[in-house]
Amino acid sequence: MNDSPTEHLEHAEHAQHVAHLGDDFLTTVSISIAILAVIAATVGSLETMETAKAFAEKNAAVLEQSKASDSWAFYQAKSVKQNIYALAAEQSGKPEYADKARRYDGEQKEIEKTAREHEHKSQEALESSDHHEHRHHVLTVAVTLLHVSIAIATIAIIVRGRRWPWYCALALGAVGALGAFYAYI
């Protein structure tokens, strides 16, 4: 969610206005709205950070997979050369062709190792991206619950004297805050 960076200040101003009315319940509700807004802003920031991390890891995975593909293409080129020199050595009996075939075979092993390392790094980056994406989804739900709790707490101010909307708001706010905490355990 893209909130204004000053949204929590607006809630604080409303709380200050209600405090002048002299109703302790309304003051308590207003303060709880301001606290919920700060928590929502914090969780929203965490959600944005997780999204950025998911994209960064996904990009790293694509880069590593590209490097792996390049390495496998190089491996195939060396394999073709190795086979040509092995065939030439067999046909002509010249030892220099056999030496080159062995050299290309040795180079292939190192290239294969590099390609597999890039594939492994790509897989790790994809797994990390999935982890950050999962956190993002959990945080999205958490921040949504926090915003809904703020709206319901505002209803408690409008219907003065009825406490059930405020209790519902506190419960939703607690679930949202716990959801944000859950994303990181």
C-alpha to C-alpha distance for 40 and 173, rounded to whole angstroms: 9
Contact yes or no for 118/65 (Cβ under 8 A): yes
**pLDDT reported for residue 1:** 46
Tell me if 52 is assigned to some domain. yes
Q: How many CA atoms lie within 13 A of 16 on its CB side?
A: 6
Tell me if 178 is assigned to some domain. yes
Tell me if 37 is assigned to some domain. yes
Q: How many other C-beta atoms can be found within 10 angstroms of the C-beta atom of residue 114?
A: 17
Tell me if 91 is assigned to some domain. yes
Q: How many domains does the chain have?
A: 1
Tell me if 144 is assigned to some domain. yes
The yes-or-no verdict on residue 18 having pLDDT over 90 is no
State which residues form the domain around 23. Answer: 7-182
Tell me if 1 is assigned to some domain. no
Tell me if 2 is assigned to some domain. no
pLDDT digits (tens, 9 = 90+) for 133-178: 999 999 999 999 999 999 999 999 888 778 999 999 999 999 999 9
**pLDDT reported for residue 15:** 56
pLDDT digits (tens, 9 = 90+) for 40-85: 999 999 999 999 999 999 999 999 999 999 999 999 999 999 999 9
Better-predicted residue by pLDDT, 145 or 12 = 145
